[in-house]
Amino acid sequence: MRVVLPKRGALLKTSRSYWGALALGVVSALGSNAIMAHPHGWIDLSVRVITDDEGVATGLHQTWQMDPFYSLVVFEELQHVSGASLEEGLDQLGSDIRDNLSQQHYFTEIRIDGRPQALGDVTEYTALERNSRLTFMFVLPLASPQPLTGRTLEYQVFDPTYYIEVVHEEEGGSPSEQALIHNGEPDCSLSIIPANPDPELVMQAALLDVDEQGEPGLGRHFAETGRVKCL
């Protein structure tokens, strides 16, 4: 569920520099006035917990759907990249997004029984058009596979500066059935815990000007928590 800010906030910031960095070298016009006028940027998230036949978790398969306005601009610009097809442009864009996210721990923190887990390198990823939205899909591996039997895995996906909002895919105002999936052993209960930021932090985010970013770590307070509790 999205956190509604009382005034202009980090979500009302433009995606000029941040998305421009993700698309560096592919979409040269992301700094245009059209992007600067965009009132917010967000990602709709869905996650599948990957386990092997023994119930050992190996990583998270994440699907990010970029907001419709940003998606529209990207697709229009990719169509004007000289000598490249849309598919070729998306391939390059996916590589650029992966490379930039790798410097930000892929916006993801994973804990098992409260203990932070080291992450591996993303090698499986793709960028594509789905329902007129730019969609980035990737497998984020755990550096060390972890058994889930009798344990609880939790994750949060967020932009540390809260420049971009990340929320689980919704349906009817609640997380959709596809927002968090775990198939196989062990038997696990799934839940998505909404963010509950302190009102002072909400106000702090609301007071950020359109050309400012929040302090690193601000986004954590606005992040939903995916929880996989296994028997």
- Residue-wise pLDDT for 186-202, tens only, equals 899 999 999 988 888 77
The β-bridge partners of 57 are 51, 146
Q: 224 vs 55, 218, 219, CA distance in Å?
A: 25, 13, 10
CA atoms of 86 and 77, how far apart (whole Å): 10
- pLDDT above 90 covers a percentage of the chain that reads 53
CA atoms of 168 and 159, how far apart (whole Å): 14
Q: What is the pLDDT of residue 90?
A: 93
CA atoms of 201 and 221, how far apart (whole Å): 8
The residue that leads in pLDDT, 132 or 26, is: 132
Q: What is the pLDDT of residue 112?
A: 98
Q: What is the pLDDT of residue 26?
A: 34
Report residue 159's pLDDT band, with 50, 70 and 90 as the boundaries: confident
Q: Which of 68-77, 83-92, 196-205, 208-217 has the lowest mean pLDDT?
A: 208-217
Tens digits of residue pLDDT in 28-41: 333 333 333 222 57
The residue that leads in pLDDT, 22 or 14, is: 22
* DSSP summary character for residue 6: S
CA atoms of 196 and 199, how far apart (whole Å): 9
User: Which string of DSSP letters, residue by residue, matches 164-219?
Assistant: SEEEE-EETTEE-TTSEEE-SSS-EEEEEEPP---HHHHHHHHT--TT--PPTTGG
Q: 96 vs 19, 31, 57, 105, CA distance in Å?
A: 11, 17, 27, 15
Is the predicted pLDDT of residue 19 greater than 70, yes or no?
Answer: no
Q: What is the pLDDT of residue 34?
A: 34
Q: What is the pLDDT of residue 151?
A: 97
168 three-state secondary structure: strand
Q: What is the mean pLDDT of the chain?
A: 81
Q: What is the pLDDT of residue 1?
A: 54
CA atoms of 190 and 200, how far apart (whole Å): 30
Q: How many angstroms from the chain centroid is the CA of residue 147?
A: 25
Q: 142 vs 49, 86, 220, CA distance in Å?
A: 11, 32, 20
CA atoms of 42 and 219, how far apart (whole Å): 12
Q: What is the pLDDT of residue 22?
A: 44
> Is the distance from CB of 53 to CB of 187 less than 8 angstroms?
no
Q: What is the pLDDT of residue 155?
A: 98
Q: Which helix (H) or strand (E) holds 134?
A: strand 133-147
Is the predicted pLDDT of residue 18 greater than 70, yes or no?
Answer: no
Q: What is the pLDDT of residue 199?
A: 80
Structure tokens at 47: 């996650």
Q: What is the pLDDT of residue 99?
A: 93
Specify the length of the chain in residues. Answer: 231
The residue that leads in pLDDT, 217 or 192, is: 192
Q: What is the pLDDT of residue 209?
A: 61
The residue that leads in pLDDT, 228 or 25, is: 228
